């Protein structure tokens, strides 16, 4: 979530048949870990199918998570103040994770508001977005040592970004799948406070349509390393692999400097990205 003219344009969401919401939950904080069976977790390698939910929970105000929370593959969706279905900036998330928190085995339905916010280091394990709202997840830690991990799971129907990297540190995404999206990962191009950001993407299934797998700001020293990226349904290779930008802190549209491997900022070889 940024103050970015480059990253958001006004348009109607594609979603139809929106759920009729029921009486919402009051705000609730979660600090404990529920028991989980290993069958709920994503197996090694990118998942090949989308999970079925084990029930639904409407969320009327942001769920605060510290420690570990296991959603048991229930579907959470926004209602009340979180029930918007737009791409407007400044929306609140369904989940907000404290520094060091883990969220796992969660399906985020629609309306999805601004998905998940990580205030510091965090782990998202087997988290699925059925129809991305503003963004699926935003990473906001300010420490250069912050570590954000997305393990398994997937997202689809993202009009713009899936994973928004606003903060400092390193974002590692493994065993993830994405389809019908704008950008899988975007290092914030025009946040008021900018940082050096490191992105590592491995074992990812990318299904067209889509615009870009990752976008980084070379002038801040960002790097992106790609491996075992499988692109489906894009025989003409329209989806950009790694796009380099000249970022800024003024809110202006970042300058596009080109895309593809360069060995310095966008690190991968031809065999690291395959097409079928």
Higher-pLDDT residue of 271 and 41 is 271
Structure tokens at 24: 């919402």
- Predicted confidence band of residue 43 (pLDDT cuts 50, 70, 90): very low
- Predicted confidence band of residue 90 (pLDDT cuts 50, 70, 90): low
Q: Domain 60-273 class?
A: mainly beta
Using CB atoms within 10 A of its CB, is residue 275 exposed (0-12), middle (13-18) or buried (19+)? middle
Summarize the confidence of residues 69-76 as an average pLDDT: 98
Question: What is the pLDDT at residue 2?
Answer: 42
Instruction: Indicate if the pLDDT at residue 48 is higher than 80.
Output: no
Domain ranges of the chain: 60-273
Q: What is the mean pLDDT of the chain?
A: 86
Instruction: Indicate if the pLDDT at residue 8 is higher than 50.
Output: no
Summarize the confidence of residues 128-148 as an average pLDDT: 96
Higher-pLDDT residue of 7 and 67 is 67
- Predicted confidence band of residue 46 (pLDDT cuts 50, 70, 90): low
Question: What is the pLDDT at residue 35?
Answer: 34
Summarize the confidence of residues 117-144 as an average pLDDT: 97
Summarize the confidence of residues 172-178 as an average pLDDT: 98
Question: What is the pLDDT at residue 89?
Answer: 55
Q: Give this prediction's pTM.
A: 0.83
Question: What is the pLDDT at residue 77?
Answer: 96
Question: For 179-238, how does the pLDDT look when each residue is reduced to its tens digit (9 = 90+)?
Answer: 999 999 999 999 999 999 999 999 999 999 999 999 999 999 999 999 999 999 999 999
Instruction: Indicate if the pLDDT at residue 123 is higher than 50.
Output: yes
- Predicted confidence band of residue 134 (pLDDT cuts 50, 70, 90): confident
């Amino acid at each position: 979530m940024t103050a970015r003219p480059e990253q958001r344009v006004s348009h109607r969401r594609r979603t139809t048949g929106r759920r009729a919401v029921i009486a919402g939950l009051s705000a609730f904080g979660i600090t404990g870990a529920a028991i989980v069976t290993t069958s709920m977790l994503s197996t090694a390698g990118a998942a090949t199918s989308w999970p079925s939910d084990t029930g639904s929970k409407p969320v009327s105000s942001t769920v605060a998570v510290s420690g570990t929370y296991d959603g048991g593959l229930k579907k959470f969706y926004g209602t009340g103040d979180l029930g918007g279905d737009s791409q407007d900036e400044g929306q609140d998330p369904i989940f907000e994770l404290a520094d060091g928190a883990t969220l796992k085995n969660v399906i985020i339905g629609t309306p999805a508001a601004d998905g998940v916010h990580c205030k510091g280091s965090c782990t998202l394990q087997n988290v699925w977005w059925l129809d991305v709202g503003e963004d699926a997840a935003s990473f906001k830690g300010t420490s250069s040592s912050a570590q954000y991990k997305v393990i398994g799971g997937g997202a689809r129907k993202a009009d713009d970004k899936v994973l928004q990297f606003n903060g400092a540190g390193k974002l590692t995404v493994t065993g993830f799948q994405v389809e019908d999206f704008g950008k899988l990962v975007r290092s914030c191009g025009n946040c008021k406070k900018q940082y050096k950001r490191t992105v590592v993407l491995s074992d990812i299934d990318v299904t067209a349509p889509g615009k870009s797998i990752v976008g980084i700001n070379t002038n801040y020293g960002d790097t992106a390393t790609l491996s075992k990226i499988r692109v489906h349904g894009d025989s003409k290779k329209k989806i950009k692999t790694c796009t380099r930008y000249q970022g800024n802190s003024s809110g202006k549209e970042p300058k596009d400097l080109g895309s593809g491997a360069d060995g310095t900022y966008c690190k991968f070889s031809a065999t690291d990205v395959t097409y079928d």
